[in-house]
Structure 1
Amino acid sequence: MNQQDQNIFAYVGTYNAGSEGIYLYTLDTSSGQFNPTGHSVNNQNASYLAIASDQQHLYSVSEGADGQVVSFRINKATLELTRMNAQSSQGNHPCHLSTNREGTFLFAVNYTGGSVCLYPILEDGSIGEMTDFIQHEGQGPRADRQQSPHPHSISIDPTNQWMLVPDLGLDTIFIYGLDVAQQKFIAHRQVKLHPAAGPRHLTFHPTASYVYVINELDSTITAFSWDVSQGELLALQTISTLPAEYTGNSTCADIHTSPCGRFLYGSNRGDDSIAVYQINATTGLLTLIEIVSTGGQTPRNFAVAPDGKFLLAANQDSDNIVIFEIDQETGRLRNLDLTVDIARPVCIKFLS
């Protein structure tokens, strides 16, 4: 498969009810058409994916009671995936993973297990045996959702020094350093959020020292300043993701900035929408622009195309992906009426 100038490619991870696992799609950057290539590979509950910086390997969780992290080789010519190996996550329901810039370490979190894992990535791109495992302890104020730790993501900062882990169960962001020689995490700092926030995912501003955390339980986003020299977060603002008149049940899921750094997007499950914000370049503060229906149910994940022209919303419970055009001046979303049917889509990752 020769990649044409107007096409970029993406892998879509799915839950396995009626689905194969991971699928390869192509996005036409002139029209927004998002089409299957016909290639898929089996992987049980591929609820989160990470692509190595060399674009030659993809890593997936296998979310279940006996959790695993799985490696795949990306064929340079066809972009098809070949399974390499898997390692146990030593915990229940791994839900997120990431790699460092050099592609030498893989980091993962177990949501139900309440733990954080570290693996070396071997020279061929396969995953080595786990070298560190940290069990979070404690509980939060909400008895129905916070009886135990629930780390929900692990993201490495742009300078490749720090791993940030929002723990939904503890209302805390754990900040870890990395001892490369010993292949171990270094516990650095814990940042508390407001009670019953339920921090889930975060995104780093592409050019400025800000971090934005989406809080699942109370449907808010918290903006932080980020001091990379100290590995320190300072809360600036917390803002709702829901319409003022909304009274139903809803939980937040995913969060991304636009590549230009001017806009921020966060998804609501229940209201089934994307909240769009303008980012103040000087202060990092957010101003709500609009809240737009995702055209489906339960947008667990979404992705902004690398060129910043399109946003693709993965609607888990309506079995579809809906494509939006991003207005380059205002950040607003326009539904292109381009809907892709796919069973249980829950993660979209673009090749760069």
Structure 2
Amino acid sequence: MNPSLRTLGLLALGLVVGLAPLPAAEQPAPKEFFVYFGTYTKAKSKGIYRARLDVATGRLSPAELVAETRDPSFVAVNPKGTHLYTIDEGSDPVRTPGKGVKAYAIDARTGALTFLNEQSPGGPGPCHLIVDQSGRCVLVANYSGGSVAALPVAADGRLGPAQSVIQHTGSSVNAARQKAPHAHAIMVSPDNRFAFSPDLGIDRVLVYRLDAAKASLTPHAPAFAAVAPGSGPRHLAFHPGGRFAYVINEMLCTMTAFSYDAAKGELKELQTLSTLPPGVSVQKGYSTAEVMAHPGGAFLYGSNRGHDSIVVYAIDAATGRLTYVAHQPTQGRTPRHFAIDPTGAWLLAENQDSDTVAVFGLDAKTGRLTATGQLLDVPAPVSATFVRVK
């Protein structure tokens, strides 16, 4: 891998995965990461699993259960890599008050998790969460309830009750899936001033001002960026340079590129492309899932369920516009999520309906993926996050 791209990757994602934000010359190259997998527990899974990734070879150790908990479909870690947070996707604050978002302490040596406490996500059916870049609050998107929430984080990593809960409103053109709002994710801007929530039910990306110290979300003006009716925006990823953002649209299998004005907190659409190969149209059973930019900033990746592939685009550094590069089969069914390790060398595709995680090598010059042949057994994997082994 190009050394400069590897260094940029470390700096770009360091806060997210527990790497100290040291100057490049002082940052020792990581040798291993703990990888935590969120899962669905309706069949074989029992909760959160952990493996170790060897950065030099891309080898994953066998996955081990580290926390027995129900439907921890999305997992996220704080900037220091000391705490992990997860949701119970089936939680309902009415039937199970005070349940739905869990906090764990991470053992730096072994990667073991110790349960700390649990709070309500502020609405039914949480599906996504993140920790803000200061580590002071956890943001949650509630799919079933169509709302977002912000929970404060105490010094010891424990969660406090939600300080902000905002209900989305509206609908869109697909009568089967868009009769009501469905907040599908929440992300923060690179400067931690704004939060963005793609809502599948209303075809909008809602924008909020974020005060992390108070766990406060406030509607912003402009209040949203729209995508084409019936698109179903699902997840959002910022470019490492902070000038562009990309939204993957679940229902139409498209990717929308936006320019981003950091001073105004404003997204403006640049283009929308298919996530499927040229000549392939959307059909029953096809949908998208995850989007992520390479830490070097030159490429963008998105996952297709049903087609069971990862699409690769090149990113124009000056304009943020995308150009199609390739598709890579994920060696399994239903890649609900994938994760790129912080060095930018490896991509892990979580094949939910095959109970496997496939490992691919990443070419930093071409953006293309190469299957390593490694398939890790993980029951119903649906998310992954990294913490540096210290």
Query: How does the TM-score come out when normalised to structure 1?
Result: 0.96
- Counterpart of 1:237? 271
- Counterpart of 2:363? 327
- Counterpart of 2:331? 295
Write the letter of the residue equivalent to 1:14: T
Q: Counterparts of 2:245 and 2:378 in 1: how far apart (Å)?
A: 32
**2:51 is equivalent to residue 33 of structure 1:** no
- Counterpart of 1:8? 33
**2:145 is equivalent to residue 113 of structure 1:** yes
Q: Counterparts of 2:130 and 2:228 in 1: how far apart (Å)?
A: 26
1:42 pairs with one of 68, 78, 103: 68
Q: Structure 1, residues 68-104: CA drift from partner, whole Å, max 9, x if none?
A: 0100001122121001111112322101111222211
- Counterpart of 1:305? 341
- Counterpart of 1:200? 234
What is the SS of the residue equivalent to 1:317? helix
**Unpaired segments ≥5 residues, structure 2:** 1-28, 94-99
What is the SS of the residue equivalent to 2:191? coil
C-alpha contact 2:253 2:288 (8 A) present in aligned 1: yes
Write the letter of the residue equivalent to 1:335: A
Richer in strand (by share): 1
Shift of residue 208, structure 1, vs aligned partner: 4.1
Shift of residue 323, structure 1, vs aligned partner: 0.5
Write the letter of the residue equivalent to 1:60: T
Q: Any residues of structure 2 matched to 1:180-199 within 5 Å, and which?
A: 183-188=215-220, 189-199=223-233
Q: Structure 1, residues 258-317: CA drift from partner, whole Å, max 9, x if none?
A: 110000000000101000010011111100100111010000000001111110000001
1:61 pairs with one of 87, 91, 94: 87
Q: Counterparts of 1:339 and 1:33 in 2: how far apart (Å)?
A: 10
1:71 pairs with one of 103, 112, 115: 103
Higher relative contact order (CA 8 A, sep 6+): 2
Label 1:234 to 1:35 Cα distance change in 2 as closer, same or farther (>3 A).
same
Displacement over 3 Å in runs of 4+: 179-183
- Counterpart of 1:218? 252
**2:318 is equivalent to residue 282 of structure 1:** yes
Q: Counterparts of 1:66 and 1:183 in 2: how far apart (Å)?
A: 21
C-alpha contact 1:20 1:40 (8 A) present in aligned 2: no
Write the letter of the residue equivalent to 2:265: G
Q: Counterparts of 1:131 and 1:104 in 2: how far apart (Å)?
A: 12
Write the letter of the residue equivalent to 2:149: C
Q: Counterparts of 2:90 and 2:363 in 1: how far apart (Å)?
A: 39
Q: Counterparts of 1:322 and 1:37 in 2: how far apart (Å)?
A: 13
C-alpha contact 1:119 1:129 (8 A) present in aligned 2: yes
- Counterpart of 2:115? 83
What is the SS of the residue equivalent to 1:351? strand
- Counterpart of 1:140? 172
The alignment's C-alpha RMSD in Å is 1.6
- Counterpart of 1:272? 308
Q: Counterparts of 1:10 and 1:62 in 2: how far apart (Å)?
A: 19
C-alpha contact 2:193 2:211 (8 A) present in aligned 1: no
C-alpha contact 2:101 2:121 (8 A) present in aligned 1: yes
1:123 pairs with one of 151, 155, 177: 155
Label 1:182 to 1:122 Cα distance change in 2 as closer, same or farther (>3 A).
closer
What is the SS of the residue equivalent to 2:353? helix
1:341 pairs with one of 373, 377, 381: 377
What is the SS of the residue equivalent to 2:357? strand
Shift of residue 242, structure 1, vs aligned partner: 0.5
Label 1:5 to 1:278 Cα distance change in 2 as closer, same or farther (>3 A).
closer
Q: Counterparts of 2:79 and 2:215 in 1: how far apart (Å)?
A: 20
Q: Counterparts of 1:333 and 1:323 in 2: how far apart (Å)?
A: 9
Label 1:181 to 1:211 Cα distance change in 2 as closer, same or farther (>3 A).
closer
Label 1:290 to 1:312 Cα distance change in 2 as closer, same or farther (>3 A).
same
Work out the percentage of aligned pairs sharing the same amino acid.
42
Q: Counterparts of 1:56 and 1:22 in 2: how far apart (Å)?
A: 16
- Counterpart of 2:182? 150
Q: Structure 1, residues 17-56: CA drift from partner, whole Å, max 9, x if none?
A: 2112111111112221111363521121111111000111
Q: Counterparts of 1:292 and 1:127 in 2: how far apart (Å)?
A: 39
- Counterpart of 1:169? 201
**Unpaired segments ≥5 residues, structure 1:** none
Write the letter of the residue equivalent to 2:304: N
What is the SS of the residue equivalent to 1:328? coil
C-alpha contact 1:39 1:80 (8 A) present in aligned 2: no
- Counterpart of 1:52? 78
- Counterpart of 2:354? 318
Query: How does the TM-score come out when normalised to structure 2?
Result: 0.87
C-alpha contact 2:70 2:88 (8 A) present in aligned 1: yes
Label 1:242 to 1:278 Cα distance change in 2 as closer, same or farther (>3 A).
same
Q: Counterparts of 2:63 and 2:39 in 1: how far apart (Å)?
A: 16
Q: Counterparts of 1:181 and 1:15 in 2: how far apart (Å)?
A: 32
